[in-house]
Structure formats: structure tokens, C-alpha cells
Amino acid sequence: MHFNAYGGNGAALSAALVNATDFRPRPLARLIAAHEMLRTDLTAEQAGQVRAWAAQLAPVFGERDTAKQVELVNGLLEISASRPYVSTHDGLRPHLHFCSPEADIVARVRDTTAGGLAMVVCFSDGRRLGRCEREGCEVVFVDTSRNGRRRFCSLTCANRVNVAAHRARAVARRSPIG
């Protein structure tokens, strides 16, 4: 649960959950563990709760209206009822944790993701919570690039859009209108 201006693992976990397609307990536990969370074993019921939570995280990504995005994040924080505290574990410099280590996995996922998204919105720029601009692609991401202008989820999507734009320009050149 290490936060930085880009929301640290909380924001990254949010994006991973929104993009997730497999919400069976085991793969889901692995996905959560890959984001620096401990004790991630889930029951089927808990996995269902995380899936429902992921659906609530989704609209925050790609929301260009700041007021609307803030409202969404506040809605998440209200549900998560997180208890932030500063930790210096493992010799790290002081950093925020958003969830109680004793809480169950669903509560910890809610707290960590809501806290991470709030960090991005407050300390960076909510536009860094992006959604791929290629039509038909719904993949979300946390833009940690230096200039914060990432538009696509992957090089594949960027290339497909660029190739299409290039072709459109070439066609326009060959058949001038008027």
C-alpha cells in the first residue's frame, strides 16, 4: 500500500480490477496479491463483492469532468470508510496506508483503491485516470508518464488508431473534395 502522486498500488489495483475479466476467487486473489496486498485469499462471496466494487471504480476512469470525478471518488471513500495512517514499515520513509491490516480482504481492497484514486485526483491530475481512446476499447490505465498525455491503453491500440488516421489522410489527399 505505497502511495505516490499517481496513487501508488491503490490506483494501479483499481485499474487492474476494472480491466479484470476473471473474478473467480483464485485468479482474483493472484491479481490483488500482484499489487502489494497481503492475505488475499477470497471466498466466492468476497470475490463477488470485489467484482461489484470494480464496477463502481470503473466510471472514475476517463471522466473528464472534474466535479463529476470528485463526486464519484467521494462516493467511493464514503463506502470504504477507510482509516488512513502513516507507516514507516520495512525502513521505508513515512507514507500513507489507507486500510487497517486487520480488516478483511474486501474492506482492504475498497480502502486501498478508493484511497489511491483520491490521491491521484488531489496530488496529481484526475485526467491521469485514463480510458483508452481507441473506439471499442474500454481498457483503463493510470497514466504515470512524465507529461501525462497518454491516450491509449497499449502500443497496439495507439498503432491501430495511427494507422487508421494515416490511411484516412492518404485517402483525403488522393480524392480532394471540390
Binding site for Zn ion (CB under 5 A): 1-2, 132, 134, 137, 139, 153, 157
DSSP string, the chain: ----TT-HHHHHHHHHHHH----SHHHHHHHHHTTT-S-----HHHHHHHHHHHHHHGGGTT---HHHHHHHHHHHHHHH----EEE-GGGPPPEEE-S-TTS-HHHHHHHHHHHHHHHHHHHS-GGGEEE--STT---EEE--SSS-----SSHHHHHHHHHHHHHHHHHHHHS---
State which residue, 93 or 174, has the beta carbon closest to Zn ion: 93
Q: Which is nearer to Zn ion, 47 or 130 (CB)?
A: 130
Compare residues 70 and 137 and give the one whose CB is closer to Zn ion: 137
Nearer to Zn ion, 1 or 106 (CB): 1
**Shortest approach of Zn ion to residue 89 CB, angstroms?**
6
Beta carbon nearer to Zn ion, 36 or 125: 36
DSSP-assigned beta bridge partners for residue 2 = none
Q: Rounded to the nearest whole angstrom, what is the least distance from the CB of residue 59 to Zn ion in the complex?
A: 17
In the complex, what is the shortest distance from the CB of residue 132 to Zn ion, in angstroms, rounded to a whole number? 3
Instruction: Write down the least CB distance from residue 151 to Zn ion, Å.
Output: 9
CB of 87 to Zn ion, least distance (A): 5
Give the total residue count for the chain: 178
